[in-house]
Amino acid sequence: MNIIIVGGGKEVHFLTRSFISKGYNVTIINNKKEHCEKLARMHEKASIVYGDGTKPYVLEDAGAAYSNIVIALTPKDPDNLVICQLSEKIFKIRKTFAVVNDPKNIDVFNRLGVGTVISTSDIISSLIEQKISVDEITNLIPIEEGKVAIMEVEINKDHDILGKQLVNSNLPKEAIVGCIIRNGNAVIPRGDTVILNKDKLIILSLPKVQSDVLTAIRGRID
């Protein structure tokens, strides 16, 4: 599979590392020379293209004609929209993903046919509104435009769930622990699985119960 990522930042780094580990071919487009040089040092197996991803000739140089997926991660919503539209209409790429920095633009992106739209602002504001401690969540991945989320929470000695069987954890019905990372190994939990210190819980849940999930894990804070 050939994947083009346009943008910079930690997200590009983590996505590139993940895709390469799965055997995918990754090309990164970035409009800052120093960032391109850094990315080239960090990801020897990725192809790095210096240029503006909103320009058709740059996408062409990056191999858009034979790519399967384009991911637009620039800090500018109009640029992300243009990148996805060019990819779909000119290069006939079926799967496009765009990060929307202003949630007001989600409907526009959807109406204009962008494959998948992810609003990081919506997710973060939702966490704040629900009084969730973001520091306790080491990973938060939205699915289906934020309708479902996967979050990773590391257990510590102060958490109420420590030492309990999963069946007695009081997690809401709209959430499930799909996997536990324990001492570097993946454990598929059952109802009688006891939660240990330093366990990383991989939790699938609806956004509306994320606050309840953390309350069940850490206990109520007065």
User: What does the pLDDT look like over 24-50, one tens digit per residue?
Assistant: 999 999 999 999 999 999 999 999 999
- The mean-pLDDT minimum among 103-107, 108-112, 145-149, 158-162 falls in 145-149
In a domain, 146, yes or no: yes
CB atoms within 10 A of CB 129: 9
In a domain, 128, yes or no: no
Phi, psi of 67 (to 5 degrees): -95, 155
Tell me, what's the pLDDT at 128?
44
What does the alpha-carbon distance between residue 122 and residue 120 come to, in Å, rounded to a whole number?
Answer: 5
In the listed set 123, 155, 176, which residue is the last one of a domain according to the structure?
123
160 in the same domain as 74: no
- Domain count within the chain: 2
Strands 95-100 and 69-73 come out as: parallel
In a domain, 190, yes or no: yes
140 in the same domain as 118: no
Split at pLDDT 50, 70, 90, the class of 199 is very high
77 in the same domain as 36: yes
- The mean-pLDDT minimum among 49-53, 57-61, 62-66, 180-184 falls in 180-184
Tell me, what's the pLDDT at 148?
78
Tell me, what's the pLDDT at 142?
58
Split at pLDDT 50, 70, 90, the class of 219 is confident
More confident residue, 132 or 156: 156
143 in the same domain as 59: no
Q: What is the pTM of this model?
A: 0.58
Mean pLDDT of 60-70: 95
In a domain, 45, yes or no: yes
Domain region containing 60: 2-123
In a domain, 182, yes or no: yes
- For residue range 86-128, what is the model confidence (pLDDT) as tens digits? 999 999 998 898 888 787 887 888 888 787 776 665 554 554 4
The CATH number assigned to the domain holding 214 equals 3.30.70.1450
110 in the same domain as 161: no
In the listed set 123, 144, 165, which residue is the last one of a domain according to the structure?
123
What distance separates the 2 farthest-apart alpha carbons in the chain? 58
186 in the same domain as 90: no
Tell me, what's the pLDDT at 146?
61
The CATH number assigned to the domain holding 22 equals 3.40.50.720
95 in the same domain as 10: yes
In the listed set 73, 103, 123, which residue is the last one of a domain according to the structure?
123
